[in-house]
A and B are shown apart, each in its own frame.
Chain A
Amino acid sequence: GENVEQHPSTLSVQEGDSAVIKCTYSDSASNYFPWYKQELGKGPQLIIDIRSNVGEKKDQRIAVTLNKTAKHFSLHITETQPEDSAVYFCAASISGNQFYFGTGTSLTVIP
C-alpha cells in the first residue's frame, strides 16, 4: 500500500518567516495530494490540495508544489502568523479514495 513520509515532525518559526513542510509518497498511482490543518481536539481541515497534473498551486499565503518524478510534494506557508500554529498533515490518495496520511508536523509560530 501507499506509504507517506513527512518531515519535519516539529517546526518553530518566527512570525513573518516562511515555513516549509515536505512529504514523500511511494505509490506512483497516487494522484491527489491534500494538506490538512488540525487544531487541538478538532478534525483536520483541508487547506490546499494539488492534483498530479499540476506542478504548483497557490492560495494567498499557502502554496503547494508537486514533483511526480521524485514522488514528493511540499507545503509552503509565507508570512506566518501565530494562528498558523497547528499540526499539519499531508496525504496521498488515488482519485479521492483511501487517503494515506503523513505523520504530521507540529508548527509553532513564535510572535
Chain B
Amino acid sequence: GAVVSQHPSWVICKSGTSVKIECRSLDFQATTMFWYRQFPKQSLMLMATSNEGSKATYEQGVEKDKFLINHASLTLSTLTVTSAHPEDSSFYICSAARQGTEAFFGQGTRLTVV
C-alpha cells in the first residue's frame, strides 16, 4: 500500500507553546488529507479535512484557530496546535487519500503537553 509518513512520532512541549506535526504522502499525490485525534482506548475522531491549496474544513466543535491546518502541496499537510495546553495531549493521526480511493494513515504523533 501507499506510504504516509508523519513526523514527529512523539513530542513533549510546555504549556502555551505551539507544536507542528507534518504529514507526508511519500509515493503518491494526496488530493485530500485528514486529521484525526484519538484519546486512549477510544476511536479516531475526525478533526478536519484539507484539500491541497484550499482552506481546511473543520468538524463541528474543533477550534480552527487552535488547530491550524495547512495543505500547501499534494504531498504535505501540517497541523499546528497553537498555545497548547495539557488537555490537548492526545494521539494525532493523519491520513492521505487519492481521489476516490482508500485513505492511508500515518503512524501517529503522541503529543504530551506539560
Q: Could you list which residues of chain A lie within 8 angstroms of chain B, going by C-beta atoms?
A: 32, 34, 36, 41-46, 49, 89, 93, 95-104, 106
Contact = CB atoms under 8 A, between A and B. Distances in A.
Contact of B105 (A32, A44, A98, A103): A44
A102 B43 contact: yes
Nearest to A42: B107
A41 B44 CA distance: 13
A108 to B, nearest CB: 14
B105 to A, nearest CB: 4
B11 to A, nearest CB: 14
B103 interface: yes
B46 interface: yes
A103 B100 contact: no
B95 interface: yes
A32 B46 CA distance: 17
B24 to A, nearest CB: 13
Nearest to A2: B46
A42 B43 contact: no
Contact of A98 (B1, B46, B101): B46
Given A43-B106, A43-B108, A46-B1, A96 B99 contact: yes
B6 A43 contact: yes
B102 A96 contact: yes
B67 interface: no
A89 B45 CA distance: 12
Given A41-B108, A43-B6, A100 B102 contact: no
A89 to B, nearest CB: 6
Interface string B73-114: 000000000000000000001010111111111111010000
Contacts of B110: 41
Given A41-B110, A43-B93, A96 B44 contact: no
B34 A99 contact: yes
Contacts of A45: 105
